[in-house]
Structure 1
Amino acid sequence: MKIAIIPARGGSKRIPKKNIRHFCGKPIIARSIEAAVESELFDHVIVSTDCFEIAEIARSYGATTPFMRPAELSDDMATTRVVVNHTINWVIDNVGKVDHVCCLYATAPFVTAEALKLSFDQLLNMGTDFCFSVTSFASAIQRALYMDDFGHVKMFAPEHRQSRSQDLIEAYHDAGQFYWGKSEAFLRGDIMYSEKATSYIVPRYQVQDIDTEEDWLLAERLFLAGSM
């Protein structure tokens, strides 16, 4: 069995009702649900939430909400891994064996069914325990700068002061969209950023963290530009 798990608690503070706020015409969580459903990969698309309003909206777009998340897993201290593992264990206990899991964030409006399918194929072909989305840094991290306590500019890696950008290894960061994995690897608590994982590369114009109002506005503009 393959399941998608979308964590979506109701207590967002920086952006109120973040997980169900309308993003370019529909609740932002709907876009993650629709991508998962459209992929036809999953036996169940499950939203883990403590909020009845989120649950109702999630069901209206094709997800299931077979339980309400316990209060102890719904505060600021609850990690995504704990929430994912709680859902895996619930499905094992109430439905059956789970082989693969995709943790899909509720605020990932750029995710597509195609990316979910291609990344799952990559997971199988590479024989790894995990596959997650990444994107490249816009510039070489080896030439990154910081300011010391006196406001002076310094390099993190001064040995690359004269290095050409094209000679440096390209660096990537977590795109914050989805995380495929074997269910037992999630449950064991295996580290994802390791040799046990492969990464699915997403173009930078399809990646935007959404933590502030400015982030939200930028994400909507990128989304609308990509729809033209």
Structure 2
Amino acid sequence: MDVAIITARAGSTSIPNKNVMEVANRSLVSYPVKAAEEAETISKSYTSTNGDKIADVARKLGSEIIWRPEELWGDGGHGDVIKHATETVDEQVEDLENVVVLLGNTTMVDSDLIDQAVELLHERPEIDSTMTVWEAADDHPIRAMKVNDEGYLTAYDEVSEDAETDRKTYDSAFYYDQGIWAFRKETVQEKSGPGTWWWMGEKCQPIVRTWTTGRDIHNHFNAQLHAFYERNREDLREFEERVVWDEYGGDD
């Protein structure tokens, strides 16, 4: 069985009641819940939350609620939230195989993307997981800076100090785009994933998307970008498939 887990907590410090705010005339959390419900590969969806309003929206769309323990209510510890939810589902069903995790504060996911991720896990038994990412350009980590003790900008690390201005000389760098994590259930126990994403296993296949997609909402400017995306979803998805996915082998 393949399931989707939507993570959406109450108590956001960036925007009050963020996950139930209206974006393009719909509650924000309804977007990933609806995408999971419409995905052909997903047998059941769950929403991990500590908020009654979030639970009400998710439940009305067919998602089962996983109530978080109080120690998982705060900032940080997202991996522990995912591990708790995965283990909870695994106890409830007999044949859990793969899990797709969606953030509750983004509109930029849909059923096709979920199906692509799950099908990739079925087609490639040698991989542990897949995640949606975007490729860095001007925001490449080699170009990163920090403020030193005197208040001045300086290179972030020794690699940045010796870097050229020509981006073509850098190795490609990718960032998770707040879209999809899809993984085999056992990887949440291994803590061997790439960098911060320890629950993803050692062999994580990227699905490369356009820069604007998958972004989660941290402020009202982000919310307006998501409203724009929703109003132009079909055109933007067509562009994404044509220009980006084929280049990285993400779509056949």
TM-score by length of 1: 0.86
Whether 2:210 is the aligned partner of 1:209: answer: no
Q: Which residue of 1 aligns with 2:128?
A: 129
Report the CA distance shift for 1:86/1:138 in structure 2 as closer, same or farther (over 3 A): same
1:140: Cα distance to partner?
6.2
Whether 2:63 is the aligned partner of 1:63: answer: yes
How far apart are the structure 1 equivalents of 2:3 and 2:100?
6
How far apart are the structure 1 equivalents of 2:141 and 2:91?
48
Q: Which residue of 2 aligns with 1:15?
A: 15
Corresponding residue SS for 2:162: helix
Count the aligned residue pairs. Answer: 225
Deviations 1:30-73 (A, max 9, x none): 110111111121121000112222111111122122x4222222
Whether 2:93 is the aligned partner of 1:86: answer: no
Give 2:176's match in structure 1, choosing from 168, 174, 177. 174
How far apart are the structure 2 equivalents of 1:25 and 1:159?
49
Deviations 1:149-181 (A, max 9, x none): 35356585243325x333433221111121111
Report the CA distance shift for 1:212/1:142 in structure 2 as closer, same or farther (over 3 A): closer
RMSD of Structure 2 on Structure 1 (CA): 2.4
Deviations 1:129-158 (A, max 9, x none): 111110112326265153553535658524
Q: Describe how 1:33-182 pairs up with structure 2 within 5 A.
A: 33-65=33-65, 67-77=66-76, 79-126=77-124, 127-139=126-138, 141=140, 144=143, 146=145, 148=148, 149=150, 151=152, 154=155, 157-161=160-164, 164-182=166-184
Give 1:200's match in structure 2, choosing from 190, 202, 207. 207
Point out 4+ residue stretches in structure 1 off by more than 6 angstroms.
none
Report the CA distance shift for 1:188/1:226 in structure 2 as closer, same or farther (over 3 A): same
How far apart are the structure 2 equivalents of 1:20 and 1:221?
18
Report the CA distance shift for 1:102/1:153 in structure 2 as closer, same or farther (over 3 A): same
Report the CA distance shift for 1:116/1:152 in structure 2 as closer, same or farther (over 3 A): closer
Task: Give the AA of the match of 2:78.
Answer: T
The answer to whether the 8 Å contact 1:38/1:113 transfers is yes
Q: Show structure 2 runs of 5+ residues with no match.
A: 196-200, 236-252
1:195: Cα distance to partner?
4.2
1:220: Cα distance to partner?
2.3
Report the CA distance shift for 1:161/1:61 in structure 2 as closer, same or farther (over 3 A): same
